[in-house]
Amino acid sequence: MPPTVLDWSPTVDPSDFVRRVREELTAGRVVVFPGDSGYVALAEPTSPAAPTFPAPAVLVYGPDDPPRLGVNVPTAARRLMFRAWPAPLTVALPADPAAVPAGWPAPVWEAAAAGGVVRFRCPEHALTDALLPALSGPVLLSETFQPTAALAAERFGDAVQLAVSAGEVNATRRPTEVTVTEAGWRLTQPGDFPADEVERLAARIVLFVCTGNTCRSPLAEGITKALLAERLGCPAEALPAKGFWVLSAGVAAYGGGPATDLSAAAAAEFGADLAEHRSRPVNPHLLAAADDVIAMTRAHAQMLATHYPGLGPDVRLLCGDADLDDPIGAGPEVYRECARTIREHVGRFLPGWVNE
């Protein structure tokens, strides 16, 4: 008997689709669902079909889900899950096949943790955003790489009684797989998520904040890049590959403006190049993604707390308990002294960043 096929479009409220999928999964049946690399098959770990799932991954919403299965999420994996997902990106994490999570049949967990890693996925599709928050627990995912729900359902026979169709989807894409440990990450399966994006998104994001993002915070960004590059023995443009992405922004920046001439000149004296700098305003996405937010003054920190309460890490002042005055309108020596002060205080942060 062919499965029931529910046709969905972006103009339709997904709540009924989510309810039907949840009911089918709870009943132990396989559901075919649109993904970002063709259609996928979903099943509860306790489903009769779960032990037969080929190369199962675990469908998760974000970095807080794997620990519920007893799987540790290293910092780089947390960053990728938070910053990149949903996307055609599989994050594989070390796991013990013998440490069976509560409620999982041992053979299913052993299959999911084959080779000592568990693969986690959050496919990029509008329906994924609606479904994942509604699930009560982990769900197995198997890629079919089929462009239609009907073709995907054929793979699982009578185990599928419900398929959600979003029309024909691109089944030529392949998820990039990254294996992450506490020691770092490595690309274990090339795919359609670019490797340079993995480098960038897995890196520690350090964000310096001032007012207009044309003087102090660009100086801090440039000098920090120069110091990190020197310490790590690489050019500044290679820092993302070494695990660091240094940025700056302004609480009152318009965006797109260059660093002031005197800032660029002072930066050059300390080995930093601001020729390509363009100002950007602070925004909630940038704050939420940052690992470190460092403000020039208490007023900047207060503005961030007021406009973006609870968003991002705790804001720290560059100079400890003191404000760094704005050199705008002053002469070269004031800019030079500002750069010296920045270099001195950035040096306090470097040992913690590089050695963590």
Active site residues: 210, 216, 326
Angle at alpha carbon of residue 200, lines to 117 and 294, rounded to 5°: 115
CB burial of residue 348 (10 Å; 0-12, 13-18, 19+): exposed
Single-letter amino acid code for the residue at 71: V
Question: What gap in Å lies between CA 209 and CA 228, rounded to an integer?
Answer: 19
CB burial of residue 305 (10 Å; 0-12, 13-18, 19+): middle
Question: What gap in Å lies between CA 229 and CA 222, rounded to an integer?
Answer: 11
Question: What gap in Å lies between CA 224 and CA 228, rounded to an integer?
Answer: 6
DSSP 66: G
For 186, other C-beta atoms within 10 Å of its C-beta total 12
Question: What gap in Å lies between CA 13 and CA 211, rounded to an integer?
Answer: 42
Token representation of residue 2: 């062919």
Question: What gap in Å lies between CA 341 and CA 348, rounded to an integer?
Answer: 11
